[in-house]
Structure 1
């Protein structure tokens, strides 16, 4: 099971997105809507491998029942362009545009520990944003950075 709280919409969701090797279509549809671009309402199909990464990360952290706090998931091109104008830290071809990235934290866990555990999984990109108190994870190439 995965549990999320979206900091911008105040939405919560608890969902079993996969049973064995089978992704649950209705659960994925609910998650796609949950992870929508909260500024525009646009929805995209999120990468199920990102969900697998998030599940495995919770297990590696030792708390499979923990609820992720989500700062950003899917971003529409319009939102990404707007954010790029405001910050140098937003990539032009961000994996958020493809539903392959998420910015997360847990309320009772240091983002440093979250980052270190995500890096140990070696399953994609991991960005550490200590001043903003979140970790970026994605299903792209294995790499890491600090902003």
Structure 2
């Protein structure tokens, strides 16, 4: 059999010598360019605190002028998590590991250290606990954040507290009431003093016992909805 033997491919003929020459040329290119056969894979997005821009509602320290509108201008409700450098761990640090089940945002880091609240973490918490339906933010009661931390201390840092519902704007609260969700007309969610949570691997009844033992506010157990309501209002249970 001579070199004129032909290979049929898509109705065309390619000589053996031509095929061998093509492979030899491709091998030479691969040797010269090590990444010639490499396939670009998407990079895994690192975890970190949610990013903030200059137009985000700031977390206000006591005595500071509050954000008059609470609205995030030009922002869509769907927010992609942006990795940033987490604050350093300082003296007497108190850490939280939070995850918003609706937006996929995470906050994991110290919210208190060196005798003061960490502003960037508090802004992250305020933003991730916003009303994602109306895309509005509201200052979250620091006592509520401390209550979340007390629960975090009992379950450990490796398990996130999943945020089911944080701040609710009046319009969202009324919409849920009209839809028959059993929402209170003057809910503590509307003033940033209530949050609904769940924790993977924990029953709502377990979380309820933890929160009731602390006696720091209201505790509502919603086994059918698989979440626990906690607030910083008067001590009461339902």
TM-score over 0.5 for the alignment?
Answer: yes
More helix by share: 1
The TM-score by the shorter chain falls in which range?
over 0.9
Q: Residues 107 and 121 of structure 2 are in contact (CA less than 8 Å); yes or no, is this contact kept in structure 1?
A: no
Q: Which residue of 1 aligns with 2:209?
A: 116
**Higher RCO structure, 1 or 2 (CA under 8 Å, sep 6+):** 1
Residue 122 of structure 2 corresponds to residue 28 of structure 1: yes
Deviation at 1:88, TM superposition (A): 5.2
Equivalences for 1:67-106 in 2 at 5 Å? 67-87=160-180, 89-106=182-199
Pairwise CA RMSD of aligned residues?
Answer: 1.2
Structure 2: distance between partners of 1:127 and 1:21: 32
Superposition misfits of 4+ residues, deviation over 3 angstroms: none
**Which stretches in structure 1 are left out of the alignment for 5+ residues?**
none
Contact 2:99 2:160 in 1 (8 A): yes
The alpha carbon displacement at 1:119 in A equals 0.3
Q: What is the aligned length?
A: 144
**How many angstroms apart in 1 are the aligned matches of 2:203 and 2:193?**
23
In the superposition, the TM-score normalised over structure 2's length comes to 0.58
The DSSP-based 3-state class of the residue aligned with 1:45 is: coil
> Quick check: which has more Rg, 1 or 2?
2
Question: Equivalents in 2 of 1:20, 1:89: separation in Å?
Answer: 42
| Separation of aligned partners in 2, 1:42 and 1:127 | 25
Greater strand content: 1
Q: TM-score scaled by structure 1? A: 0.93
